[in-house]
Amino acid sequence: MSGGRGWDLLVEGCTTVAAPGTDAELLARVVAWAVRPRRSLEAIRRSCRDAGATLLRAETAAIRDVVADHVDADDAAAATPLVQMWAAAGVRAALVGDATYPVRLAEGWPETDGPTLLAWRGAAVPDVPTVAIVGARRATGYGTAVAAWLSEAAAAAGAHVVSGGAVGVDAAAHAAAVELPGGTTVVLGCGHGVAYPRPHARPGGLFDRVIDHGGTLASELLPQEPPHAGQVRARNRIVAGLADVVVVVEGGERSGALLTAGAAAERGRTVLAVPGDVRADGSVAPHRLLSEGVAPCTGPPDLLQALGGPRRGETVARGVAAGGLSTLPDDVHALLAARWPRPVRIDELARTTARAVGPLLAAVTRARVAGELADGPEGVRLRRAPG
Amino acid sequence: MGANHGVLATVHGVALVGLEPYRVTVEASLASGLPTLRLVGLPDAAVREAGDRVKTGLQRSGFVWPGERLVVNLAPADLPKVGTAFDLPLAIAVLIATGQVPRSAIGTWACGEVGLDGSIRAVPGLLPITAGARGFGAGRLFVPDVAAREAALVSDIEVVPVHDLAEVGRVLHGARPRVAEPAAIATPGPGPDLAEVRGQHLARRAVEIAAAGGHHLLLSGPPGCGKTMLAHRLHGLLPMLEVPAAMEVAAVHSLAGERAPDAPLSLVPPMREPHHTVSSAGLIGGGSGVPRPGELPLAHHGLLLMDELLETPRFVLDALRQPLERGSVIITRARARVTYPARVQLVAATNPCPCGELGNPTRSCSCRPDAIERYRARLSGPLLDRLDLQVEVWPVERDQLVGPPDGESTVVVARRVAEVRHRAAERWGSGVLSRDVPAATLRRSVRGAALRALASDLEQLGASARGFDRCLRVARTLADLAGDDVVDVEHVQEAVAYRLSSPVMAT
Ligand SMILES: Nc1ncnc2c1ncn2[C@@H]1O[C@H](COP(=O)(O)OP(=O)(O)O)[C@@H](O)[C@H]1O
Ligand SMILES: [Mg+2]
Ligand SMILES: [Zn+2]
């Protein structure tokens, strides 16, 4: 289908929601397809898999084939309020294989079960070394403390932390990393239109803090989808898919953390388990993994080593903003510092430092992305007083 | 003089709808009856007047107007036949029908206006008419001799220059026709040099990129800061046109009557500078009958400079958008739909705000913020998206202005531009510019890391998704300027910077 006012409204909404590099019209088709209970986003992946779509480049083409001509005006009408809900919440969405869709999650798709569509609030998931810190909701003080300890060390070293949005180990991991260079991504078990879990979703709660500090709230679900057990389990595979290393901190016999570990192993990612108190129920999961040959995580060095040891200098851009190291060449930084807080024009920067405009502009972009530089009609200036 | 009763005298001409040629057949025959002329085939007023002109012209040239009833049909009937180009075919048809020239003249191709004294005069669009005649298989074409050199630019057709009807008669009787030399190819002198621009490193870089990739450019800055100066120097950086492209340009200009018929063929890309009060018809084309090409088609294969872009009414700006995207203008009329080519590079200049002082370090802007927003919002999002390069230009300091040249000359930069064009032609085919390459094709020559960097940079900077493709296009040209086949992160990061900083303008 195409044309028609209903369809136009849907595409208009999708244009707002589509992340850079995402085809708004294809997004509209995918959403319109998925609003019907018989069809699902997961079914798109299965069809693509059955069609033998494996080439990384062919992903969107395969999706297009699946959803082509299957959506009608009613579907579009049903999808439009959902997309508008996303738009109102400032959600961005990308399809698997798109530029902002996390690379790790797309790996091996459609054989691997990365979601066809990912919707997020806040920044796009960064492409940096990433650790998933997972564990039970009913965590012990030991569990939350270890989660925070590992998370903080990883994020301070520039690694990104990812976990679910639950209370307990998940929340401890996010809270410890949220203001650090690596930043954090929360994977929700419900749509963006559902405020769950309440304490984290309320204004000024953990989720707001994550977003305010440049982190991400991600969900594969349409906005109105409520959380239920099946979706929480499905969520775990995304957590695993986003991570280079999965650390299981605590979990009971039937813990979702075991599922996360399993999904990570299937993708060939490293799994670590934190040894616990042998008397605690929450130690069952990590201890089972340990007995199956998973390496123990006895502290930050184990984790950082598994991550390939990201060094401080290599942190993500927004780490620099927080960390104080400049992304700018010394002479450029010196000139801006001398002028601070007054802005300097690119022309003057180029002339004074005798630098070519091209590389200079590239450096300026990096510094703006890192939050180090602000730009305006009068030129660029350092955001913070030079130290 | 034996009248050829019953002879159907058929002569061919060419009608243009836009630049599209259509074969027109002029059939004349004599019938018994009162000495009247009957013209059929729905000709417009000008063609009806053709009867009078041709009659007088023939008589003044020593020919005889028939004393019988003359029926002339211009076919096909449903084609609008405007202008005076069918005078000459009509005159020849009458000469055949009345036996004043041999029957071997049947099937002659001709184009030209007949004056009351029998002279043959130039008509607009002779170049596309000649090309059209050749396309229809004409072996030779009679044309007004004043414009013959223009027609002779078309190869594989014999162009017969004729000064008057008497000469037409001599040639049709077997006299050896004159030979038309093709118009010379103009070798232009150098234009204003880039080295005359002091400072303006950022704008110079943008001008170079724009020339290399054909990107549309927006220069924003206060009056007198050098925007027009820069735009004119961008024109000097563009490579000369290939002869076929130059012919297309000449064809449009010929049709618009903007070209002296004996002018040499210019290889310089056209540059048009319409005033900001231009109407949308002035931009696209218009007028009664078959619409005359406007500024956009006249700038085909060249530059369209739009000064004071934000003073231009919004609906005129809207009229720009589609042609820029499609590379042609379409004018729809009750009786015809006319398309003109308009592969145009837009260079737009604007004040940063209504008073022009926004961002000036020494003088303060007197505009209210909402006035600035409204002013800038006039540049519709989609048009802004097509302006691949957007830079702020500021007046340079006095001591710089009077100092020695501090930048490269046109010759040096034009050489790099030519290299980039060459690389682009090898990659995408002759004449294809980065500006025109579809995003999906572009992406294939972009490193994955660069795509992701671009997406996340735009995201971090709060830019809309629409800026994505624009940055990719520019990054492609930047890589070519650097001699890199693959677009890398560094190119993308530079490309991101060519956008105006105001949140209103940011996309
Ligand atoms: N950077 C510059 N280098 C040399 N001359 C300049 C420069 N900027 C402005 N001028 C001088 O000022 C004149 C006005 O510039 P112009 O291009 O008409 O400005 P604008 O189009 O921005 O109003 C130019 O003709 C030139 O003589
Ligand atoms: Mg000017
Ligand atoms: Zn102002």
> What is the tens place of the pLDDT at every residue in A109-136?
888 889 999 999 999 999 889 999 999 8
Stretch B461-483: mean pLDDT = 87
Would the CA dihedral through A309, A314, A316, A318 be positive or negative? positive
Q: Looking at the domain that runs over B9-172, which CATH code has it been given?
A: 3.30.230.10
What pLDDT digit, counting tens, does each position of A134-171 carry?
998 888 878 888 898 899 899 988 899 999 998 889 99
Whole-Å CA distances, A232 to A36, A187, A248: 21, 10, 16
What pLDDT digit, counting tens, does each position of B387-436 carry?
999 999 988 888 888 888 889 999 999 999 999 999 999 998 888 899 98
The minimum-distance atom of ligand 1 relative to the CA of B219 is 22
**Alpha-carbon gap, residue B367 to B382, rounded angstroms:** 26
CATH number 3.40.50.300 is the correct assignment for the domain at B194-500: yes
Q: What percent of chain B has pLDDT over 90?
A: 51
Check residue B58 and give its pLDDT.
96
Higher confidence at residue B481 or residue A51? B481
User: Touching check for A100 and chain B: CB below 8 Å?
Assistant: yes
φ/ψ of A239, rounded to 5, equals -55, -45
Q: How far is CA B74 from the centre of its chain?
A: 30
Q: Looking at residue B164, what DSSP letter applies?
A: B
CATH 3.40.50.300 location in chain B: 194-500
Q: Residue A246: pLDDT band by 50, 70, 90 thresholds?
A: very high
**Cβ within 8 Å, pair B458-A364:** no
**Cβ within 8 Å, pair B454-A361:** no
Q: Residue B448: pLDDT band by 50, 70, 90 thresholds?
A: confident
**Alpha-carbon gap, residue B458 to B452, rounded angstroms:** 10
User: Touching check for A230 and chain B: CB below 8 Å?
Assistant: no
Q: Which residues pair with B144 in a beta bridge?
A: B162
Stretch B435-447: mean pLDDT = 87
CATH 3.30.230.10 location in chain B: 9-172
Closest partner residue to A378 (CB to CB) among B202, B359, B497 is B359
Output the six-digit token pair for B58: 């023939």
Check residue B290 and give its pLDDT.
67
Evaluate whether B16 touches B129 at the Cβ level (below 8 Å): yes
Minimum mean pLDDT among A372-376, B446-450, B455-459: which range?
A372-376
Closest residue on chain A to B363 (Cα): A378
**Alpha-carbon gap, residue A291 to A288, rounded angstroms:** 5
What pLDDT digit, counting tens, does each position of B160-183 carry?
999 999 999 999 999 999 999 888
Check residue A324 and give its pLDDT.
47
Q: What percent of chain B has pLDDT over 70?
A: 91
Stretch B33-39: mean pLDDT = 78
Nearest residue to B387 via CA among B249, B213, B205: B213
**Cβ within 8 Å, pair A20-B493:** no
**Contacts with A13 from chain B: Cβ below 8 Å:** none
**Residue ranges of E strands in chain A:** 92-95, 117-122, 130-135, 160-164, 184-187, 216-219, 245-250, 270-273, 295-296, 373-376, 379-382
Closest residue on chain A to B220 (Cα): A377
pLDDT of A243 above 60:
yes
The minimum-distance atom of ligand 1 relative to the CA of B197 is 3
Instruction: Take atom 25 of ligand 1 and give the residue whose Cα is closest.
Output: B229
Output the six-digit token pair for B378: 């006039």
Q: B368 vs chain A: nearest CA distance in angstroms?
A: 15
Check residue A322 and give its pLDDT.
37
Q: Looking at the domain that runs over A316-382, which CATH code has it been given?
A: 1.10.10
What pLDDT digit, counting tens, does each position of B171-225 carry?
999 999 999 988 888 877 788 999 999 999 999 999 999 999 999 999 999 888 9
Q: Which residues pair with B40 in a beta bridge?
A: B73
Asked casually if ipTM beats, i.e. exceeds, 0.90, the reply is no
Instruction: Take atom 5 of ligand 1 and give the residue whose Cα is closest.
Output: B197
Evaluate whether B444 touches B427 at the Cβ level (below 8 Å): no
Check residue A318 and give its pLDDT.
37
Closest partner residue to A20 (CB to CB) among B392, B448, B468 is B468
Q: Which class is domain A130-306?
A: alpha beta
Output the six-digit token pair for A198: 């309440």
**Alpha-carbon gap, residue B238 to B232, rounded angstroms:** 11
Stretch B119-144: mean pLDDT = 94
Which residue matches tokens 């080519």? B341
**Cβ within 8 Å, pair A127-B452:** yes
What pLDDT digit, counting tens, does each position of B68-106 carry?
888 888 888 777 777 789 999 999 999 999 999 999 999
pTM for this predicted structure: 0.65
Closest residue on chain B to A19 (Cα): B465
Pocket test of ligand 1: the residue of B225, B273, B305, B409 to mutate, having most ligand atoms within 8 Å of its CB, is B225
Evaluate whether A260 touches A248 at the Cβ level (below 8 Å): yes
Q: Residue B62: pLDDT band by 50, 70, 90 thresholds?
A: very high
pLDDT of B361 above 70:
no
**Alpha-carbon gap, residue A46 to A238, rounded angstroms:** 16
Pocket test of ligand 1: the residue of B197, B198, B229, B398 to mutate, having most ligand atoms within 8 Å of its CB, is B229
CATH 1.10.10 location in chain A: 316-382
User: Touching check for B373 and chain A: CB below 8 Å?
Assistant: no
Q: Looking at residue B37, what DSSP letter applies?
A: E
**Alpha-carbon gap, residue A316 to A311, rounded angstroms:** 10
**Alpha-carbon gap, residue B127 to B254, rounded angstroms:** 7
Check residue A317 and give its pLDDT.
36
**Cβ within 8 Å, pair A92-B497:** no
What pLDDT digit, counting tens, does each position of B227-238 carry?
999 999 999 999
Which residue matches tokens 């000449």? B250
pLDDT of B505 above 70:
no
What pLDDT digit, counting tens, does each position of A167-187 carry?
889 998 999 898 888 899 999
Ligand 1 is surrounded, with C-beta below 6 A, by: B 196-200, 221, 223-229, 349, 396, 401
Check residue B403 and give its pLDDT.
84
* Pairing of the two strands B113-114 and B109-110: unpaired
